[in-house]
Amino acid sequence: MLKTLTDILTDYKFFLGLFLSVPFAILANLLTPKIDKFLSSRNSQIEKFLSSRNSQLKQKRIIKIKQEYQKVKQYYENRMMLVEYLLANILETISLAVVIILYITVIDSLFPASMSANSLSKIFVILGSLVIVNWTTNALKIYTKVKHYNDYQKEVSDIIQE
137 and 80 within one domain: yes
Give domain status of residue 91, yes or no.
yes
- The average pLDDT across 54-63 equals 88
Residue 52: predicted pLDDT? 82
| Whether 35 and 69 share a structural domain | no
Long-range contacts of 37-41 (CB under 8 A, 24+ apart): none
26 lies in a domain? yes
Residues 83 and 112 in one domain: yes
For residues 109 and 76, state if they share a domain.
Answer: yes
Same-domain status, 38 and 75? no
Backbone angles phi, psi at 34, to 5 degrees: -65, -40
53, part of any domain: no
Residue 156 contacts by C-beta under 8 Å, 6 or more apart in sequence?
65, 66, 69
More confident residue, 83 or 122: 83
Taking residues 70-94, what's their average pLDDT? 93
pLDDT for 77: 94
Structural domain including 81 reads 64-162
Q: Look at residue 27 in the predicted model and tell me its pLDDT.
A: 85
In a domain, 4, yes or no: no
Smallest Cα–Cα separation from 56: which of 64, 67, 68?
A: 64
Please indicate, yes or no, if residue 59 is contained in any of the structural domains.
Answer: no
Structure confidence at residue 15 (pLDDT): 74
Q: Are residues 94 and 132 in the same domain?
A: yes
Residue 43 has pLDDT above 60, yes or no: yes
21 and 98 co-located in one domain: no
* pLDDT confidence of residue 5: 64
Q: Does residue 67 have a pLDDT over 80? A: yes
| pLDDT tens, position by position, 85-125 | 999 999 999 998 898 888 888 877 777 776 676 777 788 88
Query: Is residue 2's pLDDT more than 60?
Result: no
More confident residue, 80 or 103: 80
- Asked which of 5-9, 35-39, 118-122, 138-142 is least confident by mean pLDDT, the reply is 5-9
Residue 144 resides in a domain: yes
